[in-house]
Amino acid sequence: MASQKRIAKELAECTSSPPQGMTIKLPNDSDIHKWHVTLEGPEGTVYAGGKFGIIVSLPTDYPFKAPSITFSTRIYHPNVTNDSLGNICLGLLKPENWKPSSRLSSVLEAVRALLVEPQPDDPLEARIADEYRQDRKEFDKNARSYVQRYAKGPVKFESGGGESGGGSTSNTGGGGN
């Protein structure tokens, strides 16, 4: 199946040369349609020092349909729902913007870019977006508080569980071997 081949190729690319600050695992080696991504909070942001779980779910007709990307770690952010669902608003994942030529590495880099520079004009959480625009000091305080409360320690990908073991991995170490 072409979809399987494409996903396997992108997984190999993402694990051999992961996007900056990310580790990618398959929770189940026999299912390449679900990826667990650990994202380190980018330095110089309110998310620095935190580790965030991201679940990538690929539809069977990928790349003709966009993947589903959710945060499994709670995060205080205008573009991510402030609940346990962790839905994310990312322009390139919207059906009208998705292109089959889009790569998962680019999607993951765009998620990281949202932590560096939130998009308060296209929010999922209007209250947090307003706070980001109008009271940056309060936003920063709340975001850092969430990092301390939810993004320290082992990353959880399922409610109530710890980080899944096994599967293919990549590390975030810089440089080549």
Average pLDDT of the chain is: 89
Instruction: Domain of residue 103: give its range.
Output: 2-150
pLDDT digits (tens, 9 = 90+) for 8-36: 999 999 999 999 999 999 999 889 999 99
pTM: 0.86
pLDDT band at 46 (very low <50, low <70, confident <90, very high): very high
Supply the residues annotated as catalytic. Answer: 89
Whether residue 29 lies inside any domain: the answer is yes
CATH number of the domain to which 84 belongs: 3.10.110.10
- List C-alpha distances in Å: 4 to 8, 10, 12, 16, 167: 6, 10, 12, 18, 17
Domain total for the chain?
A: 1
In a domain, 157, yes or no: no
In a domain, 155, yes or no: no
Q: Quick one: pLDDT at residue 129?
A: 98
Give domain status of residue 134, yes or no: yes
Burial 21-41, CB ≥16 within 10 A → b, else e: bbbbbbbeeeebbbbbbbbbb
In a domain, 6, yes or no: yes
Contacts of 90 (CB under 8 A, 6+ apart): 69, 79, 107, 110, 111, 114
Q: Does residue 166 form part of some domain?
A: no
Q: Is residue 163 part of a domain?
A: no
* CA distance linking residue 22 with residue 109, whole number of Å: 9
Of the pLDDT bands very low, low, confident and very high (cuts 50, 70, 90), residue 169 is very low
